[in-house]
Amino acid sequence: MENKSSFISLVPGLYNKDEFFNEIFNEQKTWGRIWRLILLFIGLTFLYGLIMGCYSGIAQALTAGIKVPVLFLLSLIICFPAFFVIQYILGSKMKLSHMSIIILSGYVLTGAIMVSFAPIIILFVLTGGNYYFLQLLHIAVFAVGGIFGMKTVLDALKYSCEQKNIYPKTGVEVFRFWVIILAFVGIQLAWNMQPFLAEKTQGYSLFKKYKGNFYTAVIYSIQQLTNPEEKTVRHSDKNSQFIPDTTGTEK
């Protein structure tokens, strides 16, 4: 394939997947592609982070731009070793470099899909979108991008199993469970790295701790959209689960 360093050649969802997968497994100089994928992914997710954080100002936008790629890459670094070892035990003959390319390709597709939602995000930011609505919208964008990205990885593993005979069928099923683990790790990291999107009244914040967890935060955001007049207790109430401290300090 000509111009292998082009954007299209690095994103499997933009052209024939079988051709893309075949190119990966026949490629000898894999580390160059790996670095291009990493840099492209960082660029895409940094851009999305900027757009995500611009709701709260330039400083928060730059911070979110750094946090989003770090979030994804940390999740992968934490989860990938166990996945690769298990695949090896199951009889996988796939090289580490090829496995890395496959998963990073899925990540790049995830980042590309997330950035494709940028005009929608910007529209709601410029038209005074509700903080809680934007929060849920970003979660939905992350989920949609992640689903398509991991489906691409799954397709690549199936291709390596059926066409190349270098990957075990059992490994394909194990990957489905690994994706769930990856998602939970990502959610936990995101919770500890917040805020990505801060309320305008809070001002800039590098890190902020909330009580509760990601799931109670989602429920709280939904409640604020459906019942905006409903009063809730704050951090100082020992029974509260997820209530952001709008003053930026804790009592």
Examine the domain organization and report whether 196 and 223 are in the same domain: no
Examine the domain organization and report whether 55 and 88 are in the same domain: yes
| Residue 240, domain member (yes or no) | yes
**pLDDT tens digits, 119-177:** 999 998 888 778 888 989 999 999 999 999 999 899 889 888 888 788 888 888 899 99
Parent domain of 74: 7-201
Tokens for 104, please give them. 């990073």
* Domain stops at, among 184, 201, 218: 201
Examine the domain organization and report whether 147 and 223 are in the same domain: no
Q: What Å distances lie between residue 229 and 127, 132, 192, 225, CA to CA?
A: 22, 14, 29, 9
**pLDDT tens digits, 218-233:** 888 888 888 765 544 4
Examine the domain organization and report whether 79 and 133 are in the same domain: yes
* Domain stops at, among 161, 180, 201: 201
| Residue 89, domain member (yes or no) | yes
Examine the domain organization and report whether 125 and 220 are in the same domain: no
Instruction: Identify the burial level of 111 via C-beta atoms within 10 angstroms of its C-beta, where 0-12 means exposed, 13-18 middle and 19 or more buried.
Output: buried
Question: Is the N-terminal amide bond of 195 cis, ω within 30° of 0?
Answer: yes
Q: Provide CB contacts within 8 A for 8, sequence distance 6+.
A: 14, 15
Cβ proximity of 225 and 136 under 8 Å: yes
Examine the domain organization and report whether 50 and 127 are in the same domain: yes
Query: 10 Å Cβ neighbour count for 244?
Result: 22
Examine the domain organization and report whether 173 and 85 are in the same domain: yes
Question: The whole model's pTM is what?
Answer: 0.81
Domain tally, the chain: 2
